[in-house]
Amino acid sequence: MNANKRTARVELAVMKNRVRIGPFILGMIFLNANIFAQIKSWNIETTKDGKVTVKSRILERTDDKGGAVQLIEYVATMIASVEMRDCITVLKDGSKHKEFTDDEVSKTVETLSDNEWIIYYYTNSPWPMPDNDCVAKMVLSEDETNKTATFILTAAPSMFEMKDVKRMTFYNVTYTFNDLENDEVKMTVAGSSSPVVQAPAWMISAWFPNGPADILRVILDLSNHSEHI
């Protein structure tokens, strides 16, 4: 593989949904990068087609060992022509998540109840990024009065057997669907996560706004073809 293709694969891996960047060697490549550079205020952007609005920011938080780690947050919103019930069908199917999270594997490893599941994600990253995984508890709540369905995913690293890769331990993602009637749904994805290893803030920023916007676009496409799922 030539240098240009290898670089393109690395850049693509950086722009993952959960921003699971693992550049063990990036410190040598990007010597002048400020690893913990922070964008504290929300950066608000709209995609070129004007259909998706994305807020994003890069912060720091203190982990359970007292160390400073990156915290990446975003909120993406769009209004689309789709049936809300079809969106719900797509999100309930853990095996479909990899289509919009861009993971190698996604699957439901345990069904806890009619509205609670344990979801497993695995990312097979190109060198020099490390392979990594994430286990999350997903809870669905539906509000018939406000015609809203919300899926909340929270890291649950101990609820599935450990693999021989780094595991994400801080992961919070919410998908919200609000039925506006007239065959339109307001779709929102909001994420707050810490990658398994650190990366330059400017590199993470390159994922916005199209990364979160693509999450919604893929969910929309899957939902509009849900009869084939």
Domain range annotation of the chain: 3-228
pLDDT computed for residue 6 by the predictor: 42
The 10 Å Cβ neighbour count of residue 53 is 18
pLDDT computed for residue 203 by the predictor: 86
pLDDT computed for residue 14 by the predictor: 47
pLDDT computed for residue 130 by the predictor: 87
pLDDT computed for residue 129 by the predictor: 75
Reading phi first (left if > 0) and then psi (alpha if -120 to 50, else beta), residue 100 is in alpha
Nearest to 186 by CA among 52, 92, 94: 52
Beta bridge partners of 69: 61
Pick out the chain residues at pLDDT < 70: 1-39, 227-229
Q: For domain 3-228, give the CATH superfamily.
A: START domain (3.30.530.20)
- What is the CB-side half-sphere exposure of residue 228 using CA atoms within 13 A? 5
